[in-house]
A and B are shown apart, each in its own frame.
Chain A
Amino acid sequence: MTWRGGRAWRGAAALLLAACARPAADDRVTLRFWAFGREGEVVQELVPEFERRNPGVRVRVQQIPWSAAHEKLLTAHVGGSTPDAAQLGNTWVPELHALGALEPLGARAAASSAPPAAFFPGIWETNVVDGEVYGVPWYVDTRVLFYRTDLLAAAGYATMPTTWAGWREAMRAVKGRMTPGQYPILLPTNEWPQPVILGLQTGAPILRDGGRYGGFRDPRFRQAFDFYVGLFRDSLAPALSASEISNRYQEFARGNVAMMITGPWEIGEFSRRLPPELQDRWMTAPLPGPEGPGVSMAGGSSVVVFRSSPHKELAWKLVEFLAEPAQQLRFYQLTGNLPARRDAWQDTSLARDAHLRAFRAQLDRVRPLPKVPEWEQIATKVFEYGERAVRGRATVDQALAALDRDVDRLLEKRRWLLARGALGTRPAAAGEAR
């Protein structure tokens, strides 16, 4: 019995070995590419063209859900099983760079068909860490205002104001025509982009001293934070977290909220989920700023090449391919993700879409978020203390002082590493000169 079992095992092992050996026997090169969520699904429709142009190359796309992406990347790095190239949320670039996982791409990019100047500068900047380029923008994500044109018009506003003061006036006017359970703007209390963007708008450094300490008590951030909390204080926004709003499209359609700050994917969602009679009653607008048109954050995804890849040149070719205007457009048509390349926006399908105009205008005014690996954690702290202030559990000054204290503690390790010279020493704060 045991003997026969042993033979069965050996047989299975031999089969397994053969299965592992087969790709090597094939003389085609296999490029492994990871992409997340819907993007991972759609990019499979782009790769056949790349394979056609590069005979002998096969691209194996692995689709990973967004919720698992971050953990998967880190474990893959630890386990030495990173792919050749991958999509990367651009706030993750500094983090993977800190791990030493990314291949520098600056020299390749400068000499290619995807030079830095072809992209929106604020978006390109998100890929630059310690003076070197580690990714090429794939698509952009920034936040603008989505609003109900009919509700604004009824309150006497044909267009969205461009200053904070005007914006707040418009909200007051809209509020005047609403019932007590309705609010001019929806700012979910567990989302950090809204308070952070307002901070970027006042020119607050967010982090100070090269990303060594929190800069939230800076008067500029305080001004933004106070404006944010004030919207709740004056009942212009409801103190609700995103998980309490079961269906934000329904609330928008019912006129329970008239505005929200959100990203490009909502254009598709709004077209699908809002009832037909509402389709010509919503519009997008660039974000107002303290003194005039305001900045927004530079989000989106980049494509990176991993340092451990044995096929770096080929992987770079794939990056370059995905950055081509034609591929960027095709990707936009398949996903609704906005092209990161400026020349792709000249295409009529983008230029004609009224809802995209605000995004096009906003993209000229975007700022990167602080480029420290701890950013996600810091961002979570921002909304947590924002929520405390919004719900009246802390004053604005108490919340900001506590926020700085927590963030300083989070950055302790980074300060130690910088002092040891274990990290690049160039300042990494947001709002740095481009």
Chain B
Amino acid sequence: MADWVYTEKVKDHFMNPRNVLSDAENFEEDGRGMVGNIKCGDQMLFVIKVDPSNQTITDCRWKTYGCASAIASTSVLSEMVKGMPIEHAYKISPKDITQELGSLPEHKIHCSVLGDKALRAAIDDYYQRTGHAEKIVKDEARVICQCMNVTDHEIEEAVLEGARTYLELQEHTKLGTVCGQCQDEAQKLLDQYIQTHFS
């Protein structure tokens, strides 16, 4: 058989996903996070168990509606976070997950972004439940293109989906297609996100 489009590790996690939440198991969670939307083709649920004495994730489970790399990346993430202090887990980036997997096809990376977001949502939920809402880091989007109401988050998303040039960014987001004043700032963010995710 020809080369699998994914690495051996991705294939392994895809074929034998770890820590999948089973309805029968009755997993007692301390935090639950769900992100994504099945209309867009990807949705992720992450649940965690936390040891309050040392603020460490002792166990976790997940489910996903998504493609092979969504399954594999969440599976590998579930192995990464066990035994990890929540503060550390809170900072896991898509790049960390991708590195752990070896690599993913570039256009697939936006799938693995969901894993860390779902985990963060689960930790936020844990903070909420335990009366530490002040620890939740508000990740507010900033509008870059006023005309078309495009945020920095959407620019990042476009980069993850493959936009590499300003023109491609415009095709993805319609940014800068009216007055064009945001071009310089958008270009700067574009370069920055490419650097962050793909360098």
Q: Does A pair with B? A: no
| Chain A residues at the B interface, C-beta cutoff of 8 Å | none
